[in-house]
Amino acid sequence: MTTWLIKGARACGGDPADILIHDGIIATPDGQGEAQVIDADGLIALPGLVDLHTHLREPGREDAETVETGTQAAALGGYTAVHAMANTDPVADTAGVVEQVWRLGRQAGHCDVQPVGAVTAGLQGARLAELGAMADSAARVRVFSDDGHCVSDARLMRRALEYVKAFDGVIAQHAQEPRLTEGAQMNEGEVSGRLGLAGWPAAAEESVIARDCLLAAHVGSALHVCHVSTAGSVEIIRWAKSKGWRVTAEVTPHHLLLTDDLVEGYDPVYKVNPPLRTKADVTALRNGLADGTIDCVATDHAPHPLEHKETEWETAAFGMTGLETALRVVQHAMVDTGLLGWADVADRMSLRPARIARLAGQGNQLEPGAPASLTLYDPTPREAVDPASHASKSRNSPFTGMVLPGRVVATFLRGEPTVLDGKLA
């Protein structure tokens, strides 16, 4: 294995120092022999990013994304681990399917792929999937989610929360009361009223989060709330945490930056579930992430082929790509605004997501002895986002043409470069 000497990187935004990578581990930078040198003057070093919420689409929708292209996109975005959501075809609801996804990830080798198991068989919301078999499989599943659907049956949600306690698992809920969002096309509010589109009330998300916090407390289990999108949701999670309950939450980059008035042009690139909300919601989400109420940033990278997005608003698919822009958006929305420092970014995008997912070997501080999974990031360039240059198979980025700061220069996975000089290694 090549020994690497990263010269003058600012680890988590601190003072410039050298980082030596030897045998896949961060070593003490003295008395090293032959090493490949990377000039990291002005670059920030962060522990490899960990995404809790990625749609890799394989098996079943390889026209939108594959494990190969999705993990390339992840590496280019600075990620060393992603959690592959279960809403594939077939659904990842058995040991067989989660092991297939896990193996595809290992073969691709661009980052670790940790499958998420479905909570209910076929995402149908009727009976529990084989949670124990998935936990015991080679993929060692610990995060379970019906994402795309809400586990709306309270009794089933309670049983799922009880079941995963046996192996220290967590239920990640897509909180959305289905009866309140039937036919919904965007956030319910002033803009939806003006456009005449069916609205999606904040209460549809908040009521499920409140119920699930109470259920998690009642059975003493761990709840993770996916893609929090409203100010009220932040308030409820803050309350649940103040009680000492085992509740964690994520926010997406797009909900930290974009608002529902973008829907006025009826461009389906802004159609997403949960929907873009208001300026007040964005402010509350940013503050919630800054004060730790929201634990982490998760991309909800949701690739779709052109024909499912370049169509009329009503028929277009929900979802946005995000792996290759997440860190840049977080710099723009959180760091350049003074809400987070780089050590906080490491916490919200690597350490905490790894801890929530019980993911060993990821989300470590950049210290001697730790696995050398890290990313080198240049915060100075400002460039327009161009999805044509992305590795993702899909082009549905809501940030297209937007000038954002930053560039991922290099990513290392256990001492092996997956990205060098901004390109796949």
**Catalytic residue annotation:** 300
Q: List the x/- string, 308-327, binding to Zn ion by CB under 5 A.
A: --------------------
| Alpha-carbon torsion angle 112, 44, 234, 175, nearest 10 | -20
Q: In what order do the strands lie in the sheet with 112-115?
A: 49-54, 79-84, 112-115
* Count, residues near Zn ion per rule CB under 5 A: 2
Cβ(103)–Cβ(71) under 8 Å?
no
Query: According to CB under 5 A, which one of 142, 174, 277, 393 is a site residue for Zn ion?
Result: 174
Structure-token pair, residue 221 = 């289990």
Nearer to Zn ion by Cβ, of 45 and 52: the residue is 52
Phi, psi of 349 (to 5 degrees): -115, -5
Nearer to Zn ion by Cβ, of 11 and 84: the residue is 84
| Binding range to Zn ion, per CB under 5 A, among 4-12, 116-124, 166-174, 200-208 | 166-174
Q: Is the dihedral of CA 277, 279, 280, 285 positive or negative?
A: positive
Nearer to Zn ion by Cβ, of 76 and 150: the residue is 150
Q: From CA 363, how far away is CA 348, in angstroms rounded?
A: 10
| Binding range to Zn ion, per CB under 5 A, among 125-133, 139-147, 152-160, 162-170 | 139-147
Q: Is 271 in the site for Zn ion (CB under 5 A)?
A: no
C-alpha pair distances (Å), 361 with each of 354, 375, 411: 9, 15, 16
CB of 85 to Zn ion, least distance (A): 8
| Binding range to Zn ion, per CB under 5 A, among 24-32, 73-81, 127-135, 147-155 | 147-155
CA-closest candidate to residue 118, choices 142, 91, 139, 100: 91
Identify residues 197-226 at the interface with Zn ion (CB under 5 A).
none
Q: Is 147 in the site for Zn ion (CB under 5 A)?
A: yes
Nearer to Zn ion by Cβ, of 147 and 260: the residue is 147
Phi, psi of 21 (to 5 degrees): -115, 120
Nearer to Zn ion by Cβ, of 10 and 255: the residue is 255
Nearer to Zn ion by Cβ, of 174 and 348: the residue is 174
CB of 224 to Zn ion, least distance (A): 12
Q: Is 158 in the site for Zn ion (CB under 5 A)?
A: no
- Alpha helix stretches (DSSP H) within 92-189: 95-108, 131-136, 154-164
Q: Which amino acid is at 126?
A: A
Structure-token pair, residue 87 = 């809403």
CB of 56 to Zn ion, least distance (A): 14
CB of 235 to Zn ion, least distance (A): 21
CB of 40 to Zn ion, least distance (A): 36
| Binding range to Zn ion, per CB under 5 A, among 58-66, 128-136, 168-176, 403-411 | 168-176
Structure-token pair, residue 261 = 């008035």
CB of 147 to Zn ion, least distance (A): 4
Exposure of 326 in the CB half-sphere (CA atoms within 13 A): 33
Q: From CA 25, how far away is CA 27, in angstroms rounded?
A: 6
Cβ(24)–Cβ(59) under 8 Å?
no
Q: Which residues bind Zn ion (CB under 5 A)?
A: 147, 174
